[in-house]
Amino acid sequence: MAVKKNTSLDRVLGRLDTLDSVNLANLVQRLARERGLFEEIFNTLQEGILVVDDDGAIEYANAAAHRLIGIGSDDLPGQTLWRLVPGLRNSLGAVLGDDLGPGAAPLVAREFELTYPEIRTVRLYMVPFQAAVGPRVRRFAVILTDITKEKQSTEARIEDERTSSILLLAAGVAHELGNPLNSLTIHLQLIERKLRKLKASKEGASLAESVQICRDEVTRLDGIITHFLEAIRPRPPDLADTDLTEVLAEVLRFQQRELADRSIAVEAETAHLPQVLADKNQLKQVFFNLTKNAMEAMRPGGRLKIKSRADDESVYLLFADSGSGIKQEDLVRLFQPYHTTKTGGTGLGLMIAQRIMRDHGGHIGLESKEGVGTIVTLQFPRKDRRARMLGGG
């Protein structure tokens, strides 16, 4: 329950209509001093701080925000965040449309590129609030962090000692799992040979079906290990013309049994999308991680909605679950290695997904409400736009 503060200033403001001109002048001076203090505090921060409304109109920006988005203080009135950061509004469609249901807007985490006043990568956190005074309209506090150097050093960080140890561990686990899987395969082949003699009988047909199911599961486990190793190795993507809808359908077919076991319904609204340049195997790992996270966040009877859309610059896939949501303090750390909110989790899934999306020239974003659910947005550059970028056009 929120605690209402009752400071001396609150008491003065409560009897504002009884103040004479001298006390009013003193109050104005006091408010000016406090405003100046807060301005100094905000302007010493390295992160950009913005306050925007639902339409993206900027009501406040500190000095760092002015530097990051390239506007002078005199140019601020009338500016909108959507105009200064092209493409951001489209990537926030779920937030502005509030697809996560009624009530407060979700918390948002995003990365995007700025080309003015210089090329850089910025991480955005956006938190909704309503002012305690004045019109009760929804506003957003936006925190911008320049992560250009962090992004440039991502590959170096992946090679650091901690991640290298994970690679060694993964290779060891894969080897240890590979041995029993090979043994299972050999014994299943032997059983199949013996079953050929019983093939004509009903019992033989039933056993043959069970053996085939076992072989399919062994193949599936082997595929999981292979995809995991491919994903965590820092390997550049093998780009080719890719239909995102086809790749997604293949992943959902692969996970169909687990989804059914968990009684989770999937609603996929994926219209015909423009092709993108992508590595199909790496995208499968991204989709697999996201749907797996969604499944584990939901109780039986949950619902996973997958939507798609495109504009002139990008192609989007949105994964919305009806799970428990993410706390604000966890949201800002989700892409950090080894940070996890799941029992037994490694904290590597989203880091791997983010690295793959970056290697594809795209971005991954999150919005979440506690107790309502989470939306993950994948943003891919259109094939024709990526070709222009690579060609320097």
Query: 6-36 pLDDT, tens per residue?
Result: 566 666 666 777 778 888 888 888 888 888 8
Contact status, residue 322 vs residue 303, Cβ threshold 8 Å: yes
* Whether the Cβ atoms of residue 274 and residue 383 lie closer than 8 Å to each other: yes
Q: Does residue 146 carry a pLDDT above 60?
A: yes
Q: Among the listed ranges 104-113, 247-256, 331-340, which one has the minimum average pLDDT value? A: 331-340
pLDDT for 100 beyond 70: no
Tell me the CATH class for 23-148.
alpha beta
Q: Which of 45, 39, 58 is nearest to 139 (CA)?
A: 58
pLDDT band at 1 (very low <50, low <70, confident <90, very high): very low
Mean pLDDT score, 133-150: 81
Which range of 10-19, 24-33, 126-135, 228-237 scores highest in mean pLDDT? It is 24-33
How far is CA 247 from each of CA 87, 101, 157, 252, rounded to the nearest angstrom? 25, 29, 29, 9
pLDDT above 70 for 363: yes
Mean pLDDT of 344-359: 74
CATH classification code of 238-391: 3.30.565.10
Is the model more confident about 155 or about 361? Answer: 361
Candidate from 101-105, 217-221, 372-376 with smallest mean pLDDT: 101-105
Please give the pLDDT value at position 389.
45
Residue 138 pLDDT level (bands cut at 50, 70, 90): confident
Q: Are 318 and 385 in contact (CB under 8 A)?
A: no
The predicted pLDDT at position 279 comes to 92
**Radius of gyration over every alpha carbon of the chain, rounded to an integer in angstroms:** 26
DSSP secondary structure string, 196-231? Answer: GGGTTSHHHHHHHHHHHHHHHHHHHHHHHHHHHHHH
Mean pLDDT lowest for which of 83-87, 175-179, 361-365?
Answer: 175-179
> How much is the pLDDT for 98?
57
> What per-residue confidence (pLDDT) applies to 120?
86
Lowest pLDDT segment from 3-7, 53-57, 95-99, 150-154: 3-7
pLDDT for position 326:
83
278 pLDDT exceeds 70?
yes
Stretch 111-138: mean pLDDT, rounded?
79
Evaluate if residue 265 carries a pLDDT over 80.
Answer: yes
- Identify the three-state secondary structure at position 363: strand
What does the pLDDT read at residue 248? 94
Rank 63-72, 87-96, 176-185 by mean pLDDT and report only the highest: 63-72
Predicted pLDDT at 226: 67
Please indicate whether residue 289 or residue 94 has the higher confidence score (pLDDT). Answer: 289
Outline where the chain has alpha helix (H): 8-14, 21-44, 63-69, 81-84, 88-91, 93-97, 148-152, 154-158, 161-195, 202-232, 244-254, 256-261, 280-297, 328-331, 349-359, 383-391
The pLDDT value given to residue 343: 53
Contacts of 276 (CB under 8 A, 6+ apart): 242, 244, 315, 360, 380, 381, 382, 383, 386
Contact status, residue 306 vs residue 244, Cβ threshold 8 Å? no
Residue 345 has pLDDT above 90, yes or no: no
Query: Mean pLDDT over all residues of the chain?
Result: 78
At 308, give phi and psi (nearest 5°): -135, 155
* Domain spans, the chain: 23-148, 162-232, 238-391
DSSP 314: E
Residue 371 pLDDT: 85
- Give the confidence band of 77 by pLDDT, cuts at 50, 70, 90: confident
State the Cα–Cα distance between residues 197 and 284, nearest whole angstrom: 40
Look at residue 134 in the predicted model and tell me its pLDDT: 59
Residue 347 in tokens: 């904290």
